[in-house]
């Protein structure tokens, strides 16, 4: 029986492990910290093909300068000398054109189109966790604030994805936490959401129930390819297999650079916390101008936002949480923003061109899966499915061909 080591127990690593099992491969998943230990924990849990778009667009040219000086800006870049970060930012900004957006969107649309059915497949295969349907509520304090969002939705539809918007007559009635400062609101149909940590643990349990091993005490320091692929652990031990999959999220470049994966993956750190609400909230809410995403989690409301380009292992910056609170205060009611739980920071794995890295490296037997930026939860199961097929059969599905990790 073929054996595979998967490094990283986030959405991408676990989904890849699950699908390798479908091909009869024996899997060991290793993580340095736990199941859903990084970005796959406190995220917004949106399975929203209508919002799964490239991160860089022409607005980076206005957001960028603000990000350096305005502590409340949704995008934050610490002002310090970090040549690697500045080189990433230069490449990222170079993709902030309409042409680059259309190119990236064309590459993302096919995987987006199969994203939701891949969740159904996991469910049918025994993953005991729900995905919930229901229109998302989108709110704006002013009519002019809606323009960039409406342009994005037009772009998504142009690429054939479902994103039906319906105007809501009385915004405050659409969602119990929307304040009367919100003048304009829409329902966005055709999307779903999950509770990320619960979902990831159910996926991990399914991998184990099918004979897989998950080790959450194992930091991988190096990977070997060729005739004897292996993961080398910090404790000096070595795990041999027929293939190794590196799915370490924002830490992805470290283990794979020497195998020709040159694309830089930068941590785009996001923050979240949960609050109690006076009335139950049953569906996600998005405030696009403030870039704040709210999702019901365990009877509370998770409020998530900001994009901070900083080291993946840097400590949580309390100032970023306060910035979300400041932005949200005027637009939300019936929530106590000062009584927060589960304050969290996680690192979105961001690539300059907005496309993930999925496929074989130059070293035989070594593969990568990751770099999905803002959308690794919704795209994780589809990625895992197609990457597992490539590992088990050698067939590169055209859907993941544009995500070749050896690209320029």
DSSP-derived secondary structure letter, 178:
B
The answer to whether the beta carbons of residues 241 and 224 sit under 8 Å apart is: no
**For residues 133 and 173, which CB has a smaller minimum distance to ligand FAD in the complex?**
133
The answer to whether the beta carbons of residues 350 and 376 sit under 8 Å apart is: no
The answer to whether the beta carbons of residues 276 and 336 sit under 8 Å apart is: yes
Which residue among 50, 110, 155, 349 contacts ligand FAD (CB under 6 A)?
A: 349
**For residues 33 and 142, which CB has a smaller minimum distance to ligand FAD in the complex?**
33
- Contact characters 96-135, ligand FAD, x per CB under 6 A: ----------------------------------------
* Among the listed residues 347, 363, 406, the one whose alpha carbon sits nearest the alpha carbon of residue 43: 347
d(CA 20, CA 373): 23
Least distance in Å: CB of 110 to ligand FAD? 16
**For residues 85 and 220, which CB has a smaller minimum distance to ligand FAD in the complex?**
220
**Per-state percent for the chain, helix, strand, coil, to nearest 5:** 35, 25, 40
Applying CB under 6 A, which part among 162-170, 245-253, 319-327, 329-337 lies near ligand FAD? Answer: 245-253
Tokens in use for 362?
Answer: 């130059």
Which residue among 264, 310, 340, 348 contacts ligand FAD (CB under 6 A)?
A: 348
Least distance in Å: CB of 128 to ligand FAD? 20
Instruction: Examine residue 223 and tell whether it contacts ligand FAD (CB under 6 A).
Output: no
H/E stretch holding 381 reads: helix 376-393
Instruction: Examine residue 346 and tell whether it contacts ligand FAD (CB under 6 A).
Output: yes
Instruction: Examine residue 33 and tell whether it contacts ligand FAD (CB under 6 A).
Output: yes
Which residue among 96, 249, 253, 359 contacts ligand FAD (CB under 6 A)?
A: 249
d(CA 297, CA 407): 38
Render the burial of 135-174: b for 16+ CB within 10 Å, e for the rest.
bbbbbbbeeebbeebeebbebbeebebbbebeebeebbeb
For residue 366, give every residue at least 6 positions away whose Cβ sits within 8 Å of its Cβ, in sequence order, or none: 223, 224, 225, 229, 243, 244, 246, 256, 259, 360
**For residues 60 and 374, which CB has a smaller minimum distance to ligand FAD in the complex?**
374
**For residues 97 and 390, which CB has a smaller minimum distance to ligand FAD in the complex?**
390
**For residues 84 and 142, which CB has a smaller minimum distance to ligand FAD in the complex?**
84
Which residue among 4, 247, 256, 277 contacts ligand FAD (CB under 6 A)?
A: 247
Least distance in Å: CB of 125 to ligand FAD? 19
**For residues 70 and 219, which CB has a smaller minimum distance to ligand FAD in the complex?**
219
**For residues 97 and 149, which CB has a smaller minimum distance to ligand FAD in the complex?**
149
Least distance in Å: CB of 183 to ligand FAD? 25
Tokens in use for 160?
Answer: 């054939």
Render the burial of 223-233: b for 16+ CB within 10 Å, e for the rest.
bbbeeebbbeb
Which residue among 40, 112, 277, 361 contacts ligand FAD (CB under 6 A)?
A: 40
The answer to whether the beta carbons of residues 168 and 137 sit under 8 Å apart is: yes
d(CA 377, CA 53): 13
Instruction: Examine residue 201 and tell whether it contacts ligand FAD (CB under 6 A).
Output: no
Least distance in Å: CB of 380 to ligand FAD? 6
Applying CB under 6 A, which part among 8-16, 66-74, 159-167, 174-182 lies near ligand FAD? Answer: 8-16
Instruction: Examine residue 43 and tell whether it contacts ligand FAD (CB under 6 A).
Output: yes
The answer to whether the beta carbons of residues 41 and 376 sit under 8 Å apart is: no
Q: What are phi and psi of 402, to 5 degrees?
A: -70, -10
Which residue among 28, 243, 256, 272 contacts ligand FAD (CB under 6 A)?
A: 272
Footprint on this chain of ligand FAD (rule: CB under 6 A): 7-13, 30-33, 37-40, 43-46, 219-220, 247-249, 251, 270, 272, 304, 346, 348-349, 370, 372, 374-378
């Amino acid at each position: 029986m073929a054996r595979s080591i998967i490094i990283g127990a986030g959405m991408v690593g676990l989904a890849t492990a699950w699908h390798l099992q479908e091909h009869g491969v024996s899997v060991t998943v290793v993580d340095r910290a736990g199941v859903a230990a990084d970005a796959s924990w406190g995220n917004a849990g949106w399975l929203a093909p209508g919002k799964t778009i490239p991160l860089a667009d022409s607005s980076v040219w206005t957001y960028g300068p603000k990000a350096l000086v305005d502590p409340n800006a949704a995008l934050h870049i610490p002002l310090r000398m970090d040549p690697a970060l500045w080189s990433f930012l230069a490449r990222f900004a170079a993709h902030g054109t309409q042409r680059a957006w259309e190119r990236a969107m064309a590459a993302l649309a096919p995987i987006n189109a199969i994203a939701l059915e891949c969740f159904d497949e996991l469910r049918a295969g025994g993953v005991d966790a729900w995905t919930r349907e229901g229109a998302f509520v989108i709110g704006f304090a002013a009519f002019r604030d809606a323009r960039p969002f409406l342009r994005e939705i037009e772009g998504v539809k142009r690429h054939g994805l479902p994103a039906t918007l319906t105007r809501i007559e009385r915004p405050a009635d659409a969602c119990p936490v929307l304040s009367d400062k919100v003048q304009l609101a829409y329902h966005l149909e055709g999307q779903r959401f999950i509770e990320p940590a619960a979902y990831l643990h159910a996926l991990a349990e399914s991998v184990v129930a099918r004979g897989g091993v998950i080790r959450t005490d194992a930091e991988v320091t190096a990977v070997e390819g060729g005739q004897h692929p292996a993961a080398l652990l910090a404790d000096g031990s070595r795990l041999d297999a027929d293939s190794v999959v590196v799915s370490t999220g924002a830490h992805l470049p470290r283990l794979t650079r020497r195998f020709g994966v040159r694309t830089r993956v930068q941590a785009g750190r996001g923050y979240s916390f949960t609050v109690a609400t006076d009335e139950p909230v049953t569906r996600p809410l998005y405030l696009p101008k403030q870039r704040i995403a709210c999702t019901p989690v365990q009877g509370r409301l998770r409020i998530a936002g900001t994009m901070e380009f900083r080291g993946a292992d840097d400590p949580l910056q309390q100032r970023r949480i306060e910035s979300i609170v400041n932005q949200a205060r005027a637009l939300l009611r019936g929530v106590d923003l000062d009584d927060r739980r589960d304050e969290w920071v996680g690192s979105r794995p961001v690539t300059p061109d907005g496309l993930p890295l999925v496929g074989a490296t130059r070293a035989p037997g070594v593969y990568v899966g990751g770099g999905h930026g803002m959308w690794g939860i919704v795209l994780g199961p589809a990625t895992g499915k197609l990457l597992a097929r490539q590992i088990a059969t050698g067939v590169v599905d055209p859907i993941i061909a544009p995500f070749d990790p050896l690209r320029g």
